[in-house]
Structure 1
């Protein structure tokens, strides 16, 4: 599956006893969502969610029993934004010293980069839109000022986003990769408008370019070990021109050659400090990382890391002794 495909994960609580509960809270709560999950007031934990991921955008929808979820300091690992829509039930969000009560049909914005608490006072049916802060920030003057402030149910933009959520949950309606990228960027445009910013074509264009750049970089990373990888190969697979790839990479402060080189060097470095590759010779590591010229590998590696490949490996061994 490529990153341009829609990824789907169904999450339900089918466990029995405290052991199953603890595993669910660890795997789904902490590892996947980055939150602590606690049943509220003795209610059994009952979750049925469908998670969908598109390029640069994700969504979760379904039902949850009364519960408290906490985004704690130890679980903060990104600065994305979550737009929570409460389709039924009553909830409460606390973040940035604000407390907001969310009623049926209303929405609220939360920030993944800071501690937060959500309490579902009743059983709830929710839609969570995961949005990129970097895409929204240029078009919304002060995103964090919108956090933990209720958005009324009669907001037309909110209603439109909920309508799009139904389409996103229909696999057949998103069968074309370009359509998936378009939907993801359009959702960011709508979110910008919902939050009082510029939801016009500028964000759509930027989001589309960002999604395309991500797809290009991910393909290069996946094929980094191919010694004969060229920009023409990537352009052909992405069905775009070589000049467009060069332009997107240049806007990101790099070139195709530099991006490939840095990626291969980073791969080689990871292998050299990984015990699983301890029996690999330096030349084998270089070859597997994508280098066909050992002297070029040694020269560029030392320039990048200030040490030879063998020196990095020996240093790791000494630290472990």
Structure 2
């Protein structure tokens, strides 16, 4: 037997479905998904084991999991279980391939600050009894995608540590300072070290212990925020040059070259692909 589809609908660029059953299993067929996607699952009720890559990972009410939609997996449910599944296109996620891989390899989780918010939103959109307007649906879909991206940020912050609580706290302060001044073209390892009253050598050591370099982290965060802005609904008239200036890049050329190196597409191509559902939604509303 298999879990029975209870409902399915589109929400902007997302596909949302609910399955339920008793003492049964659900097998995901990757061949049924045409485009690169992640599958977000939420155990709404009951318990089940997520079986993938030869490992069974137990999960229960309010636990979330993420899977690469291109990989098969099975859910084994010995008792009554209800599961919400959300398919998110990769183009909609401001995640690197490494971040997406890390999230899709994690065991089911519910802790932290982000997962409960994401779980509540998934419950809401999966259980909605009235359809949302196209514009509202698109914004809700964007919020789901943003919260998934925040899971990756939270996951990175909770990753391997290199030197005790005091140094970890300092790294968090350094990253917060970077985030607050991404627009500033004068943001450099030197100005960052000076602002925190530490040596440049020690600054580099702190970031090395967390698996990065200062310059790479600054550029990574600038690219993340620029990519997020380019994909935001209602920003189809925002130029690549304006986004480059806003996030501290020396020139549009430098920004475009860095963006393509990081994500494999140009900023304009990313914006057009991400905003296509918004334009289609607008045409439907009209």
TM-score (norm 1): 0.47
Q: What is the root-mean-square deviation in Å for CA atoms of aligned residues?
A: 3.4
Q: Indicate if the aligned counterparts of 2:92 and 2:274 stay in contact, CA closer than 8 A.
A: no
Tell me the equivalent position of 2:47.
90
1:164-185 superposed Cα distances (whole Å, 9 cap, x missing partner)? 234423355723x322211111
2:116 maps to 159
* Partner SS, residue 183 of structure 1: helix
Rounded to whole Å, the distance in 2 between the matches of 1:113 and 1:89 is: 26
CA displacement 1:207-249 (0-9 Å, x = unmatched):
5354532354x69xxxxxxxxxxxxxxx9x5899xxxxxxxxx
Residues 212 and 78 from structure 1, CA distance in 2 versus in 1: closer, same or farther, beyond 3 angstroms?
Answer: closer
> How much does 1:85 deviate?
1.0
Which residue of structure 2 lines up, in the alignment, with residue 69 of structure 1? Answer: 26
In structure 2, C-alpha distance between the alignment counterparts of 1:172 and 1:215, rounded to whole Å:
20
Offset at 1:154? 3.4
Max Rg structure = 1
**1:178-193 superposed matches below 5 A:** 178-193=135-150
Pick one of 59, 63, 66 that aligns with 1:102: 59
Distance 1:50 1:200 in 2: 35
In structure 2, relative to structure 1, the CA distance for the partners of 1:134 and 1:211 (3 Å cut) is: closer
- Structure 2 match to 1:47: 4
Partner of residue 146 from structure 1, selected from 103, 106, 121: 103
The Cα shift of 1:157 comes to 1.8
Q: How many residue pairs are counted as aligned between the two chains?
A: 179
1:153 counterpart SS class: coil
How far did 1:139 drift? 5.1
Alignment match, 1:170? 128
Aligned pair 1:206/2:231, yes or no? yes
Spell out, residue by residue over 1:60-108, the C-alpha distance to the aligned partner (whole angstroms, 9 max, x if none): 2353222222235654633211111112222122224443221232111
Greater Cα shift, 178-187 or 141-150: 141-150
- Separation in 2 of the partners of 1:181 and 1:75? 23
Structure 1 residues 94, 115: closer, same or farther in 2, change over 3 A?
A: same
Structure 1, unaligned stretches of length 5 or more? 1-38, 40-44, 220-234, 241-321
Matched ranges for 1:195-274 at <5 A: 195-196=152-153, 202-203=227-228, 205-206=230-231, 208=233, 210=273, 212-214=275-277, 216=279, 237=283
Post-superposition CA distance 1:270-315 (Å, at most 9, x none): xxxxxxxxxxxxxxxxxxxxxxxxxxxxxxxxxxxxxxxxxxxxxx
Under a length normalisation based on structure 2, what TM-score does the superposition of the two structures give? Answer: 0.51
Which of 96, 118, 124 is equivalent to 2:81? 124
Greater relative contact order: 1 or 2 (C-alpha under 8 angstroms, separation 6 or more)?
A: 2
Equivalent pair of 2:37/2:88 in contact (CA under 8 Å): yes
**Counterparts in 2 of 1:74 and 1:173: CA distance versus 1, 3 Å:** closer
Q: 1:77 to 1:213 in 2, by over 3 A?
A: closer
